[in-house]
Chains A and B, each alone.
Chain A
Amino acid sequence: MKLKKIMASLLAAAAAITCLTACKTDGNTSGNDSENNASAGGNVLRIGGSGPLTGDYALYGNGVKNGAQLAIDEINAAGGINGCTLEFKIEDDEAGEEKAVNAYNVLKDWDMDISIGTVTSGACIAFGAEAAKDNMFILTPSSTAVECISGDNAFRVCFSDPNQGVASADYIADNGLSSKVAIIYQSDNAYSAGIFDKFKSEASAKGIEIVSEQSFTKDNKTDFSAQLQSIKDSGADLMFLPIYYSEASLILQQAKSSGLEIKYFGCDGLDGILNMNNFDISLAEGVMLLTPFAADATDDATVHFVTEYRAKYGDETMNQFAADAYDAIYIIKAAAEKAGINADMSSSEICDALKKAMTEITVDGVTGTSITWAADGEPSKAPKAVVITDGSYKAM
């Protein structure tokens, strides 16, 4: 009886898979004409990456996907890199380490030349360790943990966690914004916990008193009334929010409805809050944040990016993830042109050439101007402190 059940499952699965493969071939031939043409030419550079396209963190992965695709299309329209057309593929990793390694292997089977790594930190560490073995170049748009770029093949576009934590504490102390700070962070998120940790040690060094440390988890991120009540009781005059904007929007809303009046200070994770569908932006009035990207900035690069992105994807996931990914592709372009990359080189040769070129280039992007890189992979760019006034960012 059991054997038969198994046989049945096998049969059904086999049938299902056959059906699917049939669909798959159809989809490929009809959908990706340009890709096939490009492959036929042979002069192609394949850029791959992975990120959470489904599940809890899907909005970050899809931001990267859209931002990178936008840049790829623009570069291809303008003639590619050194005469090579770019192909781009992003695999779903559901923000998991194991899936990220699977995604990396899929991309290797696809003959990936250059990688933009992964979107989230934990996944990026696993992905990066595999890539380091193969000497595959990585430029991650948004993985913030220090360990993500521990290999010499890895670079990043965004700031690291410690960098943001220290910069935030310094900014608050140097500008005398507050002496009694309350924090809400996400304890099971590496980005948030990482910033929190550094902020805490830097704050005590700078004489800022942390009067309330509150947290939440992925499984407990809807109701913040208890945290807000504790903060209310603690007498803090500034709330530091090293978290992402979708949770922050809830905190702002609940703080307002519970009558808590306090100053807010956040990091780049808060960016995107003004573009949330249907979000009441008056709630975010007066929120201060350190961010490299501001969708409302008026410099040419940002205006161009925002206009093009809107035209293509609407307001879907227009956040700093998309901006970081957009920049990542252009940074790869700059480095590849500097290093004279062509499609005949192996991925390991490309990596060696890019590693060297990365430390020599200076890039003006959406997420910063005159960005340079050290050999350890960290970008050097100045965080901009902005305050939300009348529904848009104003430099502080």
Chain B
Amino acid sequence: MSFLSYLVSGISLGSIYALIALGYTMVYGIAKMLNFAHGDVIMVGAYAIYTICITWGLPPYVGVLGSIVVCAVLGVVIEKVAYKPLRKASSLAVLITAIGVSYLLQNAALLIFKSDTKSFTSVVNIPSIDLFDNQLHISGETIATIVVSVIIMVALNLFINKTKPGRAMLAVSEDKGAAQLMGINVNSTISLTFLIGSALAAVAGALLCSSYPALSPTTGAMPGIKAFTAAVFGGIGSIPGAMVGGILLGVIENLSKGYISTQFSDAIVFGVLIIILLFKPTGLLGKKINEKV
């Protein structure tokens, strides 16, 4: 039963990683940049919910919707102000700017919300399930996380493959110049990508802080790095890759904590990652790069 329990909590953690990784991978696919500030957008989203639900006392769904709006706007603003001027610069220059944005968000949150950890109230109101004579306990947050993640992933896949703006995103990620020639507005497509990615971050923030209810200005940093790892693991730029990568990362992390050692779990997770990348150098579902001279 322990195994199932490790597995379920691993999938739950992994689903959150996957949601964050989706934001990473979408932005990477289209803007070819690593948006290191993505993790901190999650933190902003969580603080937005905290302010709306706890400080102002409004119901959770208002909080989640408000947070999605805040993050979506924030994502678009960040793109317009910080990344757009660098569209022609090297990808490393944009990476550094993203790191700057990450510092900015963390320190702004520190000034506004102060340094002490806030205890988050779960926005999920689903009863937990006990299976196999109470041997396996699945909390409401876990159920919500997995269900919400699955819905979002399916919806996102449909959106990208079936709708016009979604296919415009695919086109831009394939070839910016050609897409522009075909009448696609590249700028608004990139903005849309940031909007969706950041809105997903808000959802991830709500789920993350509902499952692990401690909120501080650095809350988003580590899930951000883990999700980046997950996105690369699955093959960066690939949306199914981000989902698979995120969930696998969460499961590996929890199983290694459960069966090998909690002391070395960080090393084990990264070790597995290195080994897999050695055999699949472009991630699990990444495209093979055909090199031409």
Contacts and interface: CB of A to CB of B under 8 A. Distances in A.
> Are A and B physically bound partners?
yes
Interface of A: 53-56, 58-59, 61-62, 187, 214-223, 225-227, 229-230, 232-233, 245-247, 249-250, 253-254, 257-259, 276-280, 315-317
A55 B212 contact: no
A198 to B, nearest CB: 18
B9 interface: yes
Interface residues of B, number: 44
B212 A249 contact: no
A317 B115 contact: yes
Contacts of A315: 116
Interface string B95-131: 0000000000001001000111111110000001010
A317 B217 CA distance: 14
Contacts of B185: none
Given A217-B266, A229-B5, A246 B254 contact: no
Given A233-B2, A258-B137, A62 B115 contact: yes
B214 A249 contact: yes
Given A56-B218, A253-B213, A219 B119 contact: no
Contact of A62 (B114, B139, B141, B263): B114
Given A226-B6, A230-B258, A317 B114 contact: yes
The residue in B6, B107, B212, B214 that gathers the most chain A C-beta atoms within 10 A of its C-beta is B214
A276 B257 contact: no
9 closest residue pairs by CB, A with B: A58-B115, A226-B257, A225-B9, A279-B119, A246-B117, A222-B212, A257-B139, A59-B115, A226-B258
A276 B118 contact: yes
Interface in B138-192: 139, 141
Interface in B1-58: 2, 5-6, 9-10, 13, 50, 54
A246 B118 CA distance: 8
Given A222-B212, A225-B254, A232-B2, 14 more contacts: A59-B115, A219-B225, A222-B222, A223-B9, A229-B9, A230-B257, A230-B258, A246-B216, A249-B213, A250-B213, A277-B117, A278-B118, A315-B116, A317-B114
B119 A277 contact: yes
B257 A227 contact: yes
A27 B273 CA distance: 49
B134 A259 contact: yes
The residue in A61, A218, A221, A253 that gathers the most chain B C-beta atoms within 10 A of its C-beta is A253
B59 to A, nearest CB: 16
B282 interface: no
Contacts of B217: 58
Contacts of A232: 2
B223 interface: yes
Nearest to A277: B118
Contacts of A54: 107, 110, 115
14 contacts: A59-B117, A62-B116, A216-B262, A220-B222, A226-B255, A250-B212, A250-B213, A250-B214, A254-B212, A257-B128, A257-B141, A276-B116, A277-B117, A277-B119
A61 B115 contact: yes
A220 B266 contact: yes
A247 to B, nearest CB: 7
B117 A276 contact: yes
B23 to A, nearest CB: 18
Interface string B242-271: 000000000001110110001101100000
A229 B2 contact: yes
B208 interface: yes
A278 B128 CA distance: 22
A254 B254 CA distance: 14
Interface of B: 2, 5-6, 9-10, 13, 50, 54, 107, 110, 114-121, 128, 130, 134, 137, 139, 141, 208, 211-214, 216-218, 222-223, 225, 253-255, 257-258, 262-263, 265-266
Contacts of B218: 55-56
A187 B214 contact: no
Nearest to B139: A257
A247 B214 contact: yes
Contacts of B213: 249-250, 253
Given A214-B262, A223-B212, A249 B119 contact: yes
Nearest to A226: B257
Contacts of A222: 208, 211-212, 214, 222-223
Nearest to A57: B115
Contacts of A246: 117, 214, 216
A214 B107 CA distance: 32
Nearest to B225: A219
A259 B130 contact: yes
B109 to A, nearest CB: 10
Contacts of A229: 2, 5-6, 9, 258
Contacts of A58: 110, 115, 216-217
The residue in A221, A249, A257 that gathers the most chain B C-beta atoms within 10 A of its C-beta is A257
Contacts of B5: 225, 229, 258
Contacts of B263: 187, 215
A317 B116 contact: yes
